Amino acid sequence: MSGRIKNAMTVDVEDYFQVGAFENDIRRSNWDNFECRIERNMDIILKMFDDHSVKATFFTLGWIAERYPLIVRQITENGHELASHGMNHRRATDQSHTEFMDDVKSSKKLLEDISGSQVNGYRAPSFSIGEKNLWALEALYESGYKYSSSIYPIQHDHYGMPTASRFAFSPIKNQDFLEMPVTTVEVLGRKIPCGGGGYFRLLPYFISNFAMQRVNKKDKQPCIFYFHPWEIDPDQPRQTQAGLKSKFRHYTNLVIMEKKLRRVLAEFSWGRMDEIFLDSQG
């Protein structure tokens, strides 16, 4: 691995019934009635990272932390970075300024109280910070965060800010705060997703491998990669009431995701967000 660019491996810690694809089919008030599979899936992920000597960043929901504090402690005790994913997976675009401030402050304090470690990073549910609510980045800075990874610089039906920079930038003038977009590769002037998630799961592995290699070698930049614990769980309960599009996005290739993840862990160099981006800032 010597001489290779270290990329950021990240996990959005939420369960299968909390995803944006099902937000119109499953009410938050019913979440406690679902079988929670986060402990089982997190055990597999932590073991998988340990097998490959990888340290990662876990953007963790407050809802999960409240009910499964041991998961939070396992993250930090295993040398990973703990970061916030908000309290209840509400999109930033669905919150007022006051609601957003309350949400990010509450989740930060909760995670810090459980873990005893500082929380520096935040990722908005469904990458819901963009052109219409860039004020949220200043709210994060004012709430004590040092960085965000909440913008996806692509065009998508649920999120995206195509005009955003492809790489880490300072969105607040004269302030020490970074926004770190999920990785895209530029092809014929267009930004193409290659930062994990559904694209990694749905598309053949060689496409993601080629794109990330290109970012490392041509752009000489680290990639930011993400996935969810439910993506390695093909036996999760099926939501038959969801629409065909949502079910296709959510369930396709779950059975091969863990194998693909192990391959990408072995073929690239990985680390925590804070160590790659914040430590390099001095």
Give 281's pLDDT tier (boundaries 50, 70, 90).
low
Please state, for a pLDDT cut of 90, what percent of the chain lies above it. Answer: 88
CATH topology of domain 6-281: TIM Barrel (3.20.20)
Give 3's pLDDT tier (boundaries 50, 70, 90).
low
For the chain, the domains span: 6-281
- 91 compared with 155, residue with greater pLDDT: 91
Give 280's pLDDT tier (boundaries 50, 70, 90).
low
Average pLDDT, the chain: 94
Which among 148, 173, 174 has a CA at the least distance from the CA of 161?
Answer: 148
Tokens of 46: 């932590």
Q: What is the mean pLDDT of residues 84-88?
A: 98
Q: What is the mean pLDDT of residues 130-146?
A: 96
Give the range among 18-32, 119-133, 145-159, 179-193 with minimum mean pLDDT.
145-159
Q: What is the mean pLDDT of residues 69-75?
A: 98
The Cα 265–Cα 78 span in angstroms is 17
The Cα 202–Cα 99 span in angstroms is 34
